[in-house]
Amino acid sequence: MYSEKVMDHFTNPRNVGEIKNADGIGEVGNPKCGDIMKMYLKIEDGVITDVKFKTFGCGAAIATSSMATELVKGKTIEEALKVTNKRVAEELGGLPSAKLHCSLLAEQAIKAALLDYAKKNNIEIEELKDFDPNEDPHHH
* Burial per residue of 28-51, b for 16 or more beta-carbon CB atoms within 10 angstroms, e otherwise: bbeeeeebbbbbbbbbeeeebebb
Q: How big is the chain by its Cα radius of gyration, in Å?
A: 14
Show the binding pattern over residues 46-65: x = contacts another protein (CB under 8 A), - = does not.
-------xxxxxxx-xx---
> What is the size of the binding site for another protein (CB under 8 A)?
31
Which residues in the 18-57 window bind ligand FES by CB under 6 A?
34-35, 57
- Is 58 among the catalytic positions? no
Q: Is 5 in the site for another protein (CB under 8 A)?
A: no
Show the binding pattern over residues 53-92: x = contacts ligand FES (CB under 6 A), - = does not.
----xx-xx-------------------------------
CB of residue 61 to another protein, shortest distance in Å: 8
Beta partners for residue 51, in sequence order: 41
Which residues in the 29-48 window bind another protein by CB under 8 A?
31-38
DSSP characters over 49-103: EEEEEEEES-HHHHHHHHHHHHHHTT-BHHHHHT--HHHHHHHTT---GGGHHHH
Residues with catalytic roles = 33, 102
